């Protein structure tokens, strides 16, 4: 809502698991806006307890939580570059800390035989997104446009649909036993909004934010060798015309 009270909100359809939908969405955005100041990659899902493939055959949390943002960011880059100061906010999760050490790139993307559910696939996808954000910001910092990329962790919000997929004992533990560690939906939105509206000069590019503060991500998300492995993984799974230009 603008200061004068007039509402200026436009909604558009977007399926982060469908490249055609991402392309149509960015086309629609470019018809309405000449620039994009803030891009928040908020969509995410839990892999569940059984392997489920997305539209392109990849495990669905890998597809939506990692590949979807990679494609959307690249499609939106011209509009981000048109802004005087732009930022990309990818929703992270401290679960990325629990991803396998080291990341088993030879097993990615995982299939039904190597599927590990939340403990493997979800944590791995969030680690990939965190490391990709680090690498992306490093690349952007060397370009001419003023664009920063950060991760924003909303924390645990047991009221979200993702948690409804959890087994009953886990839902009970989180909602009752760990109530002091959980966030309401409004509280969970706090850190992404903070990253979206903070003065540009105060935002730390490549930073990992949680509870409105900088938090160190897992150290290996900053490893250049892992960035190279992520680049190779992206080239392996994405159609050639969707691979971002000048990967790290």
Output the 3-class SS for the chain. Answer: CCCCCCCCCCCCCCCCCCHHHHHHHHHHHHHHCCCCCEEEECCCCCCCCCCCECCCCCEHHHHHHHHHHHHHHHHHHHHHHCCCCEEEEEECCHHHHHCCCCCCHHHCCCCCCCCCHHHCHHHHHHHHHHHHHHHHHHHHCCCCCCEEEEEEECCECCCCHHHHCCCHHHHHHHHHHCHHHECCHHHHCHHHHHHHHCCHHHCCCCCEEECCEECCCCHHHHCHHHHHHHHHHHHHHCCHHHCCCCCC
Q: Would you state the structure tokens that stand for residue 244, as one six-digit string?
A: 């971002």
Query: CA 234 to CA 216: how far, in whole Å?
Result: 25
In contact, 159 and 186? CB cutoff 8 Å: no
**How confident is the prediction along the chain (248 residues), in pLDDT tens digits per residue?**
556 666 678 899 999 999 999 999 999 999 999 999 999 999 888 888 899 999 999 999 999 999 999 999 999 999 999 999 999 999 999 899 999 999 999 999 999 999 998 889 999 999 999 999 999 999 999 998 999 999 999 876 655 555 566 666 665 665 555 555 566 777 778 899 999 999 999 999 999 999 889 999 999 999 999 999 999 999 999 999 999 987 77
Single out the residue of 226, 248, 246, 244 nearest to residue 108, CA to CA: 226
Quote the pTM value: 0.89
């Amino acid at each position: 809502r603008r200061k004068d009270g007039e509402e200026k909100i436009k909604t558009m359809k977007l399926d982060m698991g469908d490249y055609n939908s991402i392309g149509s969405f960015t086309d629609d955005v470019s018809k309405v806006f000449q620039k994009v100041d803030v891009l928040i990659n908020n969509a995410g899902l839990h892999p569940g307890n059984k392997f489920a493939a997305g539209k392109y055959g990849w495990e669905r949390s890998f597809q939506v939580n990692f590949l979807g943002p990679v494609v959307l960011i690249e499609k939106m880059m011209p509009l981000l570059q048109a802004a005087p100061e732009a930022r990309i906010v990818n929703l992270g999760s401290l679960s990325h800390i629990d991803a396998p050490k080291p990341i088993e790139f030879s097993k990615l993307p995982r299939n039904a035989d190597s599927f590990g559910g939340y403990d493997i696939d979800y944590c791995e996808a969030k680690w990939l997104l965190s490391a990709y954000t680090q690498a992306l910001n490093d690349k952007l910092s060397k370009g001419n446009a003023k664009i920063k990329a950060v991760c924003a962790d909303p924390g645990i919000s047991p009221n979200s649909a993702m948690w409804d997929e959890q087994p009953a004992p886990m839902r009970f533990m989180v909602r009752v036993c760990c109530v002091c560690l959980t966030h309401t939906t409004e509280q969970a939105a706090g850190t992404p909004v903070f990253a979206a509206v903070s003065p540009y000069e105060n935002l730390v590019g490549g930073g990992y934010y949680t509870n409105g503060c900088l938090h160190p991500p897992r150290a290996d998300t900053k490893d250049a060798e892992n960035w190279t492995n992520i680049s190779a993984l992206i080239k392996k799974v994405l159609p050639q015309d969707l691979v971002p230009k000048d990967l790290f």
